Amino acid sequence: MKKLGTLFLCLLFVQFASYGQENERILKGKVTDGTNPIENVTVAIQDKTSTTKTDVEGYYQINVATGDVVTYTYMAMKTVTIKIEDVTRILNPVMVPDITELDEVVVEASKRRSQKDMEEDYTVNKRIIRTAWGYLDADRAAGNIRMLSEEEISPVSLCILDVIRSRFPGVRVIGSCTTGGNTTDTGVGSGGSLQVGGYVIIRGLASLTGSTAAIFDVDGQIFTDTPVWIDVNNIKRIAILYNLATTATYGNLGRGGVIVINTIGGNPQNGEIVDLARLKNNFLKSKVLTKSEVAANTPQYMKELQASTSVEEAKKVYEKYNNQYGSSPYFFIDASNYFHDTMKDVSFADEIIDNNLGAFKGNAVLLKALAYNYEEQGRFKKANKAYKDAFILRPNYAQSYLDMANSYRDINEIKQAASLYARYEYLIQEGFLERDTVGFEPIISREYNNLLMLKKGAVVKGNKSKNLYIADEGFEGTRLVFEWNDSEAEFDLQFVNPGNQYHTWNHSLADNSDTITLEKEFGYNTTEYLLDGSLPGQWKINVNYLGNKSLTPTYLKATIYHNYGSKAQRKEVKVFKLSLKNVNHELFKLQSNSSVLTN
């Protein structure tokens, strides 16, 4: 870590000091509905007075700085909100209708789900809670249900009272963990008595029933006294039930509200992974373009390169199109990959990139695209250099630490990899970075734990390695990790199981804006999928690329970990250049004794 600490991390803190300073520039773009331009869209910068409107052709321009949040507003359309990054120069958002049915009655299929469906979905849907009377889906239940998942529960809390305290509006915690949950006859409490040392009042019900304390439903068992004995680290989910629709089944006991607690030990199915594709009757029937059909839409220069019969002929094609595309980094990546992969001319492939490094310099999005392709080629030292350049540009991005740590692991510099994970945690503790417990934290924690599990001898020498804490993930199988270089990229990933049923993960502002907002806020572009052994056969992974608000391609990297978590663990990297839009097409097939689940 010495070299890293003296040079690389010094650069890191210099960048931290300067990052976020004003970097004003003009943002340009065109707003459409997917087909036609939209005139008079209000384009504004949050918390600033800057505002403009689109012209008759949908075009606009406005001054922005890195970190600004731009909003696009138009009557009857959903507002689009986008955070400006260091590379953002052009944004061409697509606005969709904000439909509210008022003039007619629409008969829809029931949104209710069976107990069996919710039981199967429990391990992957953090909005499902198990009560003494069955499962409740917070997004579908009558009335509002407020929840906390295990990632949101502070492990330093002494007991359940500390966990709940100040976490739910309208919920008042009385007492402390140290004096227990005994009761005394003073007229207030779950049974007309006050719980000395700890009880909870849910304000919404208190106005109707007086100061009645809430009861607790712990893995299906009802407690009128506060279960201060529960190990906070063993809590999986907490839900607050405070309206009559959700508390009626508890009868008079539930008149003060119910706090439902699911523990990890009481988790149904023991954490078994469920194939989301089989939760619904969704058999794939639509057309999926094959790789060869997609290849037919490649640029003309690639078609001519691929038609070349010799290295000399291919070089002539490159020189021919270099005059036309000489400023395009995507052209250089395509050409370099062709000479490396097809013509096996590694020297000329490197020459293409080395002679045109100026096209990549200062742009983390392009540097990551370069790193992805080097990884696919197994050229991990070159990938490490590209990741390092991107890291220096984006020291405040969580993804930077994951990329660098994994890259150091690839070149077998295990201590440096472990140091990056430790540095990431240190910066969070010191307030330089924020922790995202929903999307990113489970992934980076899994990566670090896996490193310690398989490489602990390289992290800590001798007997000291025995003292390292390594969590039991309870999973061995196939793991898929997807990363994309451009945070503006929108796409749908489709997982088709051997039974031809599919599950789609939507990554678009229209379908999953909250996820994209979190990614932008914390600086990461990754998701993972775990595969178990319940459905053997061939899996198909498809993508429908929706664009990235500019006319440039996006690079999607898929890392496949075989035998994950075992000593036989190995990985392979596949990289895809996404440019063909609004067409579902094949990425790759996977022969595995596994079924796909989204985490």
Domain positions in the chain: 23-83, 125-271, 273-294+474-599
The pLDDT, as a whole number, for residue 10 is 52
CB-based contacts of 283: which residues, under 8 Å, 6+ apart? Answer: 500, 501, 502
Instruction: State the CB neighbour count (10 A cutoff) for residue 406.
Output: 23
In angstroms, the Cα distances linking 65 to 40, 41, 549 are 23, 21, 18
Better pLDDT: 562 or 112: 562
Asked whether the beta carbons of 492 and 546 are under 8 A apart, the reply is yes
The pLDDT, as a whole number, for residue 67 is 92
The pLDDT, as a whole number, for residue 593 is 59
The mean pLDDT of 494-508, rounded to a whole number, is 87
Four-residue CA torsion sign, 392, 396, 401, 407:
negative
Better pLDDT: 339 or 592: 339
Confidence band, pLDDT 50/70/90 cuts, at residue 99: low
% of the chain beyond a pLDDT of 70: 82
The mean pLDDT of 255-270, rounded to a whole number, is 79
Closest CA to 30 of 99, 95, 98, 96: 95
CB-based contacts of 324: which residues, under 8 Å, 6+ apart? Answer: 301
Asked whether the beta carbons of 506 and 575 are under 8 A apart, the reply is no
Asked whether the beta carbons of 599 and 528 are under 8 A apart, the reply is yes
The pLDDT, as a whole number, for residue 56 is 95
For 125-271, CATH number out of 1.20.120.160, 1.20.1280.50, 2.170.130.10, 3.40.50.300 equals: 2.170.130.10
Closest CA to 576 of 384, 326, 287, 295: 295
The tokens for 300 are 């003309």
Q: What is the pLDDT of residues 201-229, one digit of tens each?
A: 885 434 434 468 899 999 888 888 888 88
Closest CA to 262 of 353, 166, 128: 128
CB-based contacts of 477: which residues, under 8 Å, 6+ apart? Answer: 530, 531, 532, 533, 563, 564, 565, 594
% of the chain beyond a pLDDT of 90: 48
HSE, CB side, 13 Å, CA atoms: give it for residue 593: 5
Better pLDDT: 6 or 419: 419
Say if residue 46's pLDDT is above 80: yes
CATH code for 23-83? 2.60.40.10
The pLDDT, as a whole number, for residue 461 is 75
DSSP string, 313-382: HHHHHHHHHHHHHTT-HHHHHHHHHHHHHTS--HHHHHHHHHTTGGGTTT-HHHHHHHHHHHHHTT-HHH
Out of 98-102, 281-285, 454-458, pick the least confident.
98-102
The pLDDT, as a whole number, for residue 151 is 83
The pLDDT, as a whole number, for residue 561 is 93
The pLDDT, as a whole number, for residue 108 is 43
Say if residue 190's pLDDT is above 90: no
Confidence band, pLDDT 50/70/90 cuts, at residue 268: low
Only one residue has tokens 């922005």, namely 64
Better pLDDT: 104 or 113: 113
Out of 89-93, 321-325, 340-344, 510-514, pick the least confident.
510-514
Q: What is the pLDDT of residues 305-340, one digit of tens each?
A: 999 999 999 999 999 999 899 889 999 999 999 999
The DSSP element (H or E) to which 291 belongs, if any, is helix 291-295
Overall pTM > 0.75: no
CB-based contacts of 583: which residues, under 8 Å, 6+ apart? Answer: 289, 544, 545
Better pLDDT: 447 or 251: 447
Q: Do domains 23-83 and 125-271 have the same CATH topology?
A: no
The pLDDT, as a whole number, for residue 359 is 95
The mean pLDDT of 458-477, rounded to a whole number, is 71
Q: What is the pLDDT of residues 346-392, one digit of tens each?
A: 999 999 999 999 999 999 999 999 999 999 999 999 999 999 999 99
Say if residue 174's pLDDT is above 90: no
Of 35-39, 255-259, 531-535, the range with the highest mean pLDDT is 35-39
Torsion region of 170: left, alpha or beta (phi above 0 gives left; psi -120 to 50 gives alpha): left
Distance CA 70, CA 187 (A): 55
Asked whether the beta carbons of 411 and 381 are under 8 A apart, the reply is yes
**How many degrees, rounded to 5, is the angle at CA 261 between CA 260 and CA 267?**
125
Confidence band, pLDDT 50/70/90 cuts, at residue 464: low
Closest CA to 82 of 486, 568, 505, 593: 486
When the pLDDT of each residue in the chain is averaged and rounded to a whole number, the result is 84
The pLDDT, as a whole number, for residue 390 is 97
Asked whether the beta carbons of 191 and 182 are under 8 A apart, the reply is no
